[in-house]
């Protein structure tokens, strides 16, 4: 498939996604003229602020965790390799929701006695969860560096630390960007889960608006639209990244 | 060909009864080999005969299964502890590696660094040279290989021949005593082979560095080598000066190989 | 107050029945995702822009919004039209729909991976389109896709926990119910975590075995 054909069908997809969303709204009897559903916006936007804060905080944590755990997973030291493997397997093997529940409801109890605010619990659960997936991406990128690069560093007598810092990691970092972009989108979607631990993100605002005002169709349509509008630019960004193949 | 080889001086490289297998494949068999300081040795022979493995053992990329290897008077894969030989640790290997440099068939330049940095990175961080000195040396070497105008380019912007020349400069920047060249023109388009061989020729004629060259370029070997070693199945079948080996080989297997690889312009039995 | 092992042991049967619901929901959801994903993938390969673009738009839309929100949407909005389904059905449908966007990508990548020479050879031998698909393309495309599809099944085992939000009594919801009745959350939620982990880890091992067998067949 040529690039022009791809971008043409991508634009068409975007247009159709917008059309579908509008059709959805109209068929649900949402009247776009007049102030409905715009009066819902201020409350929803308050939730969006929390969603965005959460996404950014968790994204930073997960990036940090992913790089550390990914490098650790490829380490020559057995202990480091195994500990990071446990972390990765466990956080990938259970869902973010279960992890969030555990951090929010079980950690405050004895014998742990660690109480976190909903925001902290959300960032921690999402950061550790997405970080585990990111760690596998980092590890894969490190392993994908051709053996010939490593042999070149041996021939130049570079010690392993220097090799990792100057040759392997820089090349790995470029390779991880598109997958990390996808993980960011998954992270954004996962933030909806914090509504279940009483954090006032946009989903929580939607649910409580529904409790007080009804207007189910409008509220959920608006909610879907908000997530779509947040996620789609990220999707376009990831596709752009995938097209930039400089070192590959 | 250099006339400055002192064959009575102790060899700079010595293999003693070296064996190396990869799984069931026995690549080097009880190999004995000596190279004098300053000697230019070409290794020829069919694929899989072990020539590349010899270079890789020297560059510490492969560990021999048995036998002893000496470089510059010291054991490479072993170290002396209280008069006995034990397997060398990484510290020993790192010390010995400084004496050896290698240029690979696939160049193996660092794609994310510009040409100048490719050449200065190791001298700065491994040899501890300061940046100015390293860059000065790098520019000298890049000039010698004819690439002064490409110092700010990335490897991807260079042709295969240019990349290989950068690789040579990069290896030379570490000031090794022995340089290994593993079929460095085999991956190049034919029209680019000449520029790389020219650099090699220059090195051979103008320096007294010890060079081990694995190559299929027979004409080049004949021109440049002090000695040519013909390998088959992990052993040296014949070793002689190029004049002798190419015109009048003693071993019939050498004759067979040469007949297969050299262009036939007259029949000489 | 530390871990009450007797209590933990006593709630295990109830948790296992929740696990059963999780399994059922995931497998039904996966069946939906597998079929729907193929439909989407084939539709997006259609030469007609009137088919490929709307389907593409729908897939893009579903993929860009969270599963949880889709669950709420179907659970709360459908009844407004008189469509009252049991929570289990609504949940598995939403799960299947959400994941069909991922499986359709797997199908697309798998089909695209078949070298166009295979298509050309089929044309040269005058195969019909159906024959080409059934006899040439799909047999080559499907085995490499199985590990990726299997990974999404494992993902669904885990994400089915979100069905708890629409009152489906699967594993997580069972744990919450036990916790709210007994006021002891440590054991139930921890066990829920362990059971989910065991489920996904064992499935991952089984999947790896499958991958090895496929590798062997392909050599």
Q: Answer whether B122 sits within 8 Å of A149, measured CB to CB.
A: no
- Taking CA–CA distances from C76, the nearest residue in chain A reads A216
CA geometry: angle B154, B160, B164, nearest 5 deg: 80
CB pairs under 8 A between A and B: 55
The residues pairing with B211 across neighbouring beta strands, listed in sequence order, are B40, B179
Number of domains in chain C: 1
B97 at interface of A, judged by CB pairs closer than 8 A: yes
Contacts of C101 (CB under 8 A, 6+ apart): C37, C40, C59, C62, C63
**Strand B235-240 with B227-232, pairing:** antiparallel
Interface test with A, best of B93, B112, B167 (most A CBs within 10 A): B112
Residue holding tokens 């259609």? C46
HSE-CB for B190 with a 13 A CA cutoff: 0
Q: Is the pLDDT of residue A83 over 50?
A: yes
pLDDT, residue C199, reads 93
Q: Is B60 left (phi over 0), alpha (psi -120 to 50) or beta?
A: left
**Candidate from B77-86, B196-205, C40-49 with smallest mean pLDDT:** B77-86
For residue B60, the chain A residues in CB contact (below 8 A) are 154
- Per-residue pLDDT at A242 exceeds 90: no
Quick: pLDDT tens for A42-64: 888 999 999 999 999 999 999 99
Q: Which residue has the tokens 């996604």?
A: A17
Of all residues in chain A, the one with the smallest CA distance to C192 is A98
Percent of chain A with pLDDT strictly greater than 90: 50
> B31: burial class by Cβ within 10 Å (0-12, 13-18, 19+)?
buried
User: Per-residue confidence at B255, pLDDT binned at 50, 70, 90?
Assistant: confident
**C164 and chain A in contact, CB less than 8 A:** yes
Closest approach of chain B CAs to the CA of A160, in angstroms? 11
As a whole-number percent, the residues of chain B with pLDDT over 90 amount to: 57
Residue pair C160/C22 in contact by the 8 Å Cβ criterion? yes
Partners for B (CB, 8 Å, 3+ pairs)?
A
User: How big is the CA angle at B177 (ends B171 and B181), to the nearest 5 degrees?
Assistant: 50
CB-CB under 8 Å, B122 with A156: yes
Q: In which band, very low, low, confident or very high, does the pLDDT at A2 lie, cut at 50, 70 and 90?
A: very low
Cβ distance of A170 and B112 shorter than 8 Å: yes
If you average pLDDT over residues B98-110, what whole number do you get?
A: 90
Is C18:C173 a contact under the CB 8 Å cutoff? yes
Q: Using a CB–CB cutoff of 8 Å, tell me whether B111 touches chain A.
A: yes
Q: Calculate the CA B253 to chain-centre distance.
A: 24
Q: For C36-83, what is each residue's pLDDT tens digit?
A: 999 999 898 888 888 888 888 889 899 999 999 999 999 998 888 888
Q: Mean pLDDT lowest for which of A9-13, A230-234, B205-209, C19-23?
A: A9-13
Instruction: Report the complex ipTM.
Output: 0.86
Q: What is the model's pLDDT at position B188?
A: 92
Give the mean model confidence (pLDDT) for residues A15-26.
69
**Using CA atoms, how far apart are residues A67 and A87, in angstroms rounded to an integer?**
13
CA-to-CA distance for A130 and A62, rounded, in angstroms? 6
Q: How far, in Å, CA of C85 to CA of C93, rounded?
A: 11
Residues in chain B, total:
269
pLDDT band at A7 (very low <50, low <70, confident <90, very high): very low
The verdict on a CB contact (< 8 Å) between B59 and A154 is yes
Overall pTM surpassing 0.90 (yes/no): no
Contact C64, A185 (CB under 8 A): yes
Tell me the sheet residues that pair with B41.
B212, B227
Structure tokens at B247: 């015109």
B125 touching A, CB under 8 A?
A: yes
Binary contact (A155, B171; C-beta < 8 A): yes
| Residues of chain A with C-beta less than 8 angstroms from the C-beta of B59 | 154-155
- pLDDT, residue B9, reads 76
Instruction: Please provide the average confidence, as pLDDT, over all residues in chain C.
Output: 89
Verify whether the Cβ–Cβ distance A149 to B97 is below 8 Å.
Answer: no
A155 contacts B110? CB cut-off 8 A: no
Give the Cα separation of A194 and C142 in Å (integer).
37
Chosen CATH of A2-247 out of 3.30.70.141, 1.10.3720.10, 1.10.10.10, 1.20.58.340: 1.10.3720.10
- Is the torsion defined by CA of A62, A64, A65, A71 positive or negative? positive
| Touch criterion met for C and B (3+ Cβ pairs within 8 Å) | no
Tokens of B207: 């320096």
Cβ C185–A90 below 8 Å, yes or no?
no
In this complex, which chains have at least 3 CB pairs below 8 Å with chain A? B, C
Is the CB of A154 less than 8 angstroms away from the CB of B122?
Answer: no
Q: Domain of residue C192: give its range.
A: 5-217
CB within 8 Å: A9 and C1: no
CATH code (residue C83)? 1.10.3720.10
Which residue of B61, B112, B171 is in closest CB contact with A151?
B61
Task: Give the mutation candidate from A30, A48, A100, A224 for the C interface (greatest C CB count, under 10 A).
Answer: A224
Q: What subunits touch chain C, counting only 3 or more CB pairs under 8 A?
A: A
**Contact yes or no for C65 and A203 at CB 8 A:** no
Q: How far is CA C11 from CA C46, C160, C177, in A?
A: 52, 21, 11
pLDDT band at A11 (very low <50, low <70, confident <90, very high): low
Q: Which tokens go with A119?
A: 């925001």
Cβ neighbour number for residue A244 with a 10 Å cutoff: 11
Which tokens is B68 given?
A: 């002893």
Distance CA C204, CA B62 (A): 36
pLDDT at A37: 61
Cβ-based contacts of C94 with chain A (< 8 Å)? none
Whether residue A21 and residue C204 make contact (CB cut-off 8 A), yes or no, is: no
**What percent of chain B stands above pLDDT 70?**
95
The answer on pLDDT for A247 being more than 50 is no
Residue A215: Cβ-neighbour burial (10 angstroms; 0-12, 13-18, 19+): middle
């Amino acid at each position: 498939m040529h690039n022009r054909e791809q971008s043409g069908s991508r634009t068409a997809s975007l247009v159709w996604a917008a059309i579908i969303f509008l059709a959805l709204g109209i068929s649900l009897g949402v009247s776009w003229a007049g102030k409905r559903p715009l009066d819902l916006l201020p409350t929803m936007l308050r939730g969006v602020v929390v969603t965005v804060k959460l996404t950014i905080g968790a994204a930073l944590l997960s990036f940090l965790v992913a790089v550390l755990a990914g490098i650790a997973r490829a380490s020559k030291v057995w202990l480091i390799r195994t500990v990071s493997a446990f972390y990765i397997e466990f956080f990938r093997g259970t869902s973010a929701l279960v992890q969030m529940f555990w951090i929010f409801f079980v950690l405050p109890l004895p014998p742990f006695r660690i109480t976190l605010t909903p925001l902290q619990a959300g960032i921690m659960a999402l950061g550790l969860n997405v970080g585990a997936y990111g760690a596998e991406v980092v590890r894969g990128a490190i392993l994908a560096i051709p053996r010939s690069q490593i042999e070149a560093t041996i021939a130049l007598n570079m010690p392993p630390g220097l090799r990792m810092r100057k040759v392997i990691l820089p090349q790995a970092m470029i390779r991880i960007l598109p997958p990390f972009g996808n993980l960011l989108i998954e992270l954004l979607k996962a933030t909806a889960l914090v509504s279940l631990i009483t954090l006032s993100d946009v989903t929580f605002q939607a649910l409580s608006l529904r409790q007080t005002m009804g207007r189910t169709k409008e509220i959920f349509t608006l909610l879907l639209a908000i997530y779509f509008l947040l996620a789609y630019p990220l999707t376009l960004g990831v596709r752009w990244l995938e097209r930039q193949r400089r070192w590959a | 060909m250099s006339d400055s080889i002192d064959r009575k001086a102790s060899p700079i490289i010595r293999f003693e009864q070296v064996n190396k297998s990869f799984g069931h494949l026995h690549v080097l068999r009880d190999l004995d080999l000596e190279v004098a300081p300053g000697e230019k040795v070409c290794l020829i022979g069919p694929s899989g005969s072990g020539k590349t493995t010899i270079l890789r053992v020297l560059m510490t990329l492969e560990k021999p299964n048995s036998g002893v290897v000496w470089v510059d008077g010291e054991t490479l894969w072993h170290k002396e502890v209280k008069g006995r030989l034990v397997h060398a640790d990484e510290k020993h290997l790192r010390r010995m590696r400084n004496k050896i440099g290698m240029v690979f068939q696939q160049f193996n330049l660092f794609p994310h660094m510009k040409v100048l940095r490719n050449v200065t990175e190791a001298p700065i961080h491994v040899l501890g040279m300061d940046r100015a000195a390293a860059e000065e040396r790098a520019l000298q070497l890049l000039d010698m290989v004819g690439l002064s105008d490409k110092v700010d380019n990335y490897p991807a912007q260079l042709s295969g021949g240019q990349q290989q020349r950068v690789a040579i400069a990069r290896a030379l920047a570490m000031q090794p005593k022995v340089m290994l060249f593993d079929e460095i023109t085999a991956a190049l388009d034919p029209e680019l082979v000449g520029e790389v061989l020219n650099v090699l020729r220059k090195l051979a004629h103008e320096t007294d560095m010890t060079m081990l060259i694995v190559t299929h370029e027979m004409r080049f070997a004949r021109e440049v080598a002090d000695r040519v070693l013909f390998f088959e199945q992990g052993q040296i079948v014949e070793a002689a000066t190029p004049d002798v080996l190419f015109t009048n080989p003693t071993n019939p297997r050498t004759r067979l190989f040469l007949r297969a690889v050299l262009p036939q312009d007259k029949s000489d039995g | 107050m530390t871990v009450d092992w007797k209590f933990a042991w006593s709630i295990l049967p109830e948790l296992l029945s929740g696990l059963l619901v999780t399994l059922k929901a995931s497998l039904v959801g996966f069946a939906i995702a597998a079929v729907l994903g193929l439909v989407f993938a084939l539709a997006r390969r259609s030469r007609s822009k009137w088919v490929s673009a709307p389907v593409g738009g729908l897939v893009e839309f579903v993929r860009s919004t969270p599963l949880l929100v889709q669950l709420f949407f179907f659970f709360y909005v459908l009844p407004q039209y008189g469509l009252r389904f049991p929570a289990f059905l609504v949940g598995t449908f939403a799960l299947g729909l959400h994941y069909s966007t991922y499986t359709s990508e797997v199908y697309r990548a798998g089909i695209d991976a078949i070298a166009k020479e295979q298509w050309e050879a089929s044309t040269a031998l005058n195969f019909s389109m159906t024959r080409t698909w059934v006899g040439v393309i799909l047999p080559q495309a499907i085995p490499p896709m199985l590990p990726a599809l299997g990974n999404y099944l494992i993902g669904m085992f885990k994400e089915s926990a979100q069905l708890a939000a629409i009152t489906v009594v699967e594993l997580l919801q069972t744990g919450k119910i036990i916790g709210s009745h007994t006021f002891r959350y440590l054991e139930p939620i921890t066990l829920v975590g362990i059971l989910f982990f065991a489920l996904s880890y064992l499935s991952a091992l089984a999947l790896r075995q499958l991958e090895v067998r496929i590798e062997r067949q392909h050599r």
